Amino acid sequence: MSIPSVGVWSLIGNTPILPLYFSDFDRTIWVKCEFLNPSGSIKDRVAVYIIEDAERRGLLKPDSIIVECSSGNTGISMAMVGVAKGYRVQILLSAGASSERSWLIRHLGGEVILIDSNADYATGIEIARKMAEADPRIFLPRQFENELNIEEHLTTTGQEILRQIDGPIGLFVNGYGTGGTLAGVGKALKRANANCKVWAMEPALPSMAEDEHPFGQQTIEGVSQGFMPDLMQFAQVDGYVKVSCREASEMTRRLSREFGLLVGTSSGANVAAALRVASEQNIDGAVVTVLCDRAERYFSTPLFQKNGLSAAELDNCK
């Protein structure tokens, strides 16, 4: 199999960063526009990084099958990069994920294997491992435990942010699914400024360090997958901030209607969290977060209902 040297993966990364001023908080939040990656999310970065590392090490062959367990975004990214490079891609996806995610994976040429939405994420990961044991053609990217996930964000995303912002960065706030972005970017920013604070955003549910929840059931898709991922042990976290799905949805709509940014609820949650931490803590320097993905993968969710969330849904989002 001949793999072209240039393809859609060449468009990944080097995303712009944008300052957003919130007059009601009298705060500016710098947002890294990861939704402008070719498949529409930050996960494009780790997909190409892991796949190309596997190619260099001879782990991927012409008949290889890339299999990953995903809440959606990584699956879309793996399908985009993997299929474009000529590999077969199978994604284990929660039946509770928004339907757009499975549509996009299939549209990109990937295959979707739906997992019971009441199962925890560890179940999906174990299914992938058993598939690999039964079929030597299968390559597992292992996004939740693969330290290349952190390395990518340390060496690319974090360095881009440092080049794009003049002066010290005092705070980085981000949700975590695998923990790769939080650990990698956080490490890069702390190396540049030891006083930089790193805060992790979680949905307003019991802490992942305390309880486990079924994957696909969290209120903010792609954030805190129902367990504390292995990569979080490498994250230098100074604090945790909780955001309800009401706050996340309201901020996501504000980002679109006030700033023209068509992004998903995890992006709204990140901005809401950054504003809260910046307002409550003594921060010296720029405040940075990430706009993770595009809005079109949320069309079937309450975010795009005619009148937003119903009263019953809002009651469940406190």
For the annotated catalytic residues, the residue numbers are 43, 266
Is-contact 173 201, C-beta < 8 A?
Answer: yes
CA nearest neighbour of 241 among 184, 285, 299, 287: 287
Quick one: tokens of 96?
Answer: 């509770």
Residue with tokens 């696909």: 216
Burial-class residue 102 by CB neighbours within 10 Å (0-12, 13-18, 19+).
Answer: buried
Q: What does the alpha-carbon distance between residue 149 and residue 32 come to, in Å, rounded to a whole number?
A: 18
Strands (DSSP E) found in 98-245: 111-115, 138-139, 169-175, 197-203, 239-243
Residue 90: phi and psi, rounded to 5, are: -120, 130
Q: What does the alpha-carbon distance between residue 169 and residue 266 come to, in Å, rounded to a whole number?
A: 22
CA nearest neighbour of 164 among 14, 13, 314: 14
Strand 27-33 relative to strand 17-22: parallel, antiparallel, unpaired? Answer: antiparallel
The CB density around residue 75, as the number of other CB atoms within 10 Å, is: 29
Q: How many residues make up the chain in this entry? A: 318
How far apart, in Å, do the first and last CA atoms of the chain sit?
52
